């Protein structure tokens, strides 16, 4: 577990220029993912310019090649093939964009994405591990989910947080396929959502999120499988009951509500014991809670994680 909390860094420690230069270095050092997407990725990475963020959770792991992060995606609203989102997600209009906070809370409200962007952004390197067995290391920029939740002042009876992706049939060519029930939905238990690792990402590699990665705002829950990290969020609701989740609806025996990265509990079709880091050839062992056990294991103390998979 190489994550390091760096609360003593100030915003000035990471200037937009540093972020920009580092990204160029990463790109220059990139070993090439062989997708022929260099042009697209470069464009995507230069959407608006540079976000300023202070580094908080950091690791010394090498970030995954930017081309892979922005060219190999799961975003079923734009097609089930991992090469489709980069081609079709540009159709999504990401401004203006609001996020509705509602349900069991004292201050339901609708927040404009740019208001959130003006908040204190943090840059963190997190692994993202897909249940299918591949993983990436990504420098995300975002806002702690807990801060956004606090704006709405959830009531004590609110035990869960439900998330919903935009549903725009005219912009999302994939939703004509009924493979999933739309809109895509996800959920966390309130204490999971309040954990400092849970991030609402608005950028990666120092820039705004490319659409295929979930612009303008997506969840990143680094100790859970990638599919929990719902993209292009328009609604966050507080509920007393466990909310439905898209993949659980699709195949309840394969995808549970919790979906914690757990090398000891296999998916019925894929081993979870090891993973292939995109850009590497040798598989590496998967770590409990994706390596974040120190931060999150206490959330599941006493729970049978085979039952609550
Ligand atoms: N709305 C929505 N969010 C989604 C998905 C999706 O299909 N639709 N796919 C999930 C899956 S399976 C993964 S692995 C991650 C991939 O995120 P990335 O493309 O940024 O790597 O997004 C998750 N969030
Ligand atoms: Mo995934």
pLDDT in tens, 225-243: 999 999 999 999 999 999 9
Lowest mean pLDDT among 18-27, 158-167, 252-261, 274-283: 18-27
Q: What's the average model confidence in pLDDT over 63-81? A: 96
Q: What's the average model confidence in pLDDT over 5-17? A: 39
pLDDT at 35 over 50: no
Ligand 1 mean position to 156 CA, how many Å?
A: 30
Residue 68 CA: distances (Å) to CA of 115, 149, 161, 304: 30, 31, 30, 35
Residue nearest to atom 23 of ligand 1 (CA): 227
Q: What's the average model confidence in pLDDT over 97-120? A: 95
Residue 44 Cβ contacting ligand 1 at under 6 Å: no
Q: Is 218 assigned a ligand-binding role in the annotation?
A: yes
Atom of ligand 1 nearest to the CA of 76: 7
Pocket of ligand 1, candidates 41, 74, 250: which has the most ligand atoms within 8 Å of its Cβ, to mutate?
74
Give me the CATH code for the 11-296 domain, please. 3.90.420.10
Angle at 306 between CA 127 and CA 239, to 5 degrees: 75
Contact (Cβ atoms closer than 8 angstroms) between residue 202 and residue 116: yes
Domain ranges of the chain: 11-296
Measure CA of the first residue to CA of the last residue in the chain; give whole Å. Answer: 22
pLDDT the model gives residue 117: 86
Residue nearest to atom 24 of ligand 1 (CA): 230
Q: What's the average model confidence in pLDDT over 241-247? A: 98
Q: Is 130 assigned a ligand-binding role in the annotation?
A: yes
CA 101 – CA 196 distance, rounded (Å): 19
Full-model pTM: 0.87
Residue 74 Cβ contacting ligand 1 at under 6 Å: yes
Q: What's the average model confidence in pLDDT over 138-160? A: 97
Sign of CA dihedral 110, 114, 115, 119: positive
Residue 4, SS3? Answer: strand
Q: Is 76 assigned a ligand-binding role in the annotation?
A: yes
- Percentage of residues in the chain having pLDDT higher than 90: 80
Q: What's the average model confidence in pLDDT over 47-71? A: 85
Q: Is 232 assigned a ligand-binding role in the annotation?
A: no
pLDDT the model gives residue 50: 74
Residue 130 Cβ contacting ligand 1 at under 6 Å: yes
Q: How confident is the model at residue 203 (pLDDT cuts 50, 70, 90)?
A: very high
pLDDT the model gives residue 10: 37
pLDDT the model gives residue 24: 43
pLDDT the model gives residue 47: 35
pLDDT at 3 over 80: no
Task: Using alpha carbons, select from 165, 275, 278, 295 the residue that is nearest to residue 219.
Answer: 165
Residue 284 CA: distances (Å) to CA of 31, 228, 233, 263, 276: 19, 22, 32, 11, 6
Task: Establish whether the linkage from the previous residue to 183 is cis, with ω within 30° of 0.
Answer: yes
pLDDT the model gives residue 51: 84
């Amino acid at each position: 577990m190489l994550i390091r909390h760096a609360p003593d860094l100030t915003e000035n420690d990471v200037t937009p220029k540093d972020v920009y230069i580092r990204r160029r270095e990463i790109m220059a050092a990139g070993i090439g993912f062989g997708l022929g997407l260099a042009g697209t990725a470069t464009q995507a990475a230069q959407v608006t310019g540079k976000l300023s963020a202070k580094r908080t959770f950091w690791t010394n792991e090498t970030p995954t090649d930017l081309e892979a992060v922005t060219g190999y995606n799961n975003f079923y609203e734009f097609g089930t093939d991992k090469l489709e989102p980069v081609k079709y997600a540009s159709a999504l209009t990401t401004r203006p964009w609001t996020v509705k906070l509602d349900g069991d809370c004292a201050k339901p409200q609708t927040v404009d994405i740019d208001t959130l962007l003006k908040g204190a952004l943090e840059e963190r390197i997190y692994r993202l591990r897909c249940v299918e067995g591949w993983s990436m290391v990504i420098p995300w920029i975002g806002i702690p989910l807990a801060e956004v939740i606090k704006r709405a002042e959830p009531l004590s009876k609110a035990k869960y947080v439900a998330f919903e992706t935009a549903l725009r049939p005219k912009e999302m060519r994939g939703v004509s396929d009924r493979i999933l029930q739309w809109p895509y939905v996800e959920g966390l238990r309130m204490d999971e959502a309040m954990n400092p690792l849970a991030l609402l990402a608005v950028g990666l590699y120092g820039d705004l999120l490319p659409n295929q990665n979930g612009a303008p705002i997506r969840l990143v829950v680094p100790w859970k499988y990638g599919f929990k990290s719902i993209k292009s969020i328009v609604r966050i609701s507080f509920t007393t009951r466990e909310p439905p989740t898209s993949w659980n609806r699709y195949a309840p025996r394969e995808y549970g509500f919790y979906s914690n990265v757990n090398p000891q509990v296999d998916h019925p079709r894929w081993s979870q014991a090891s993973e292939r880091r995109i850009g590497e050839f040798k598989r590496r062992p998967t770590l409990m809670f994706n390596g974040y056990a120190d931060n999150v294991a206490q959330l599941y103390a006493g729970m049978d994680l085979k039952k609550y998979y």
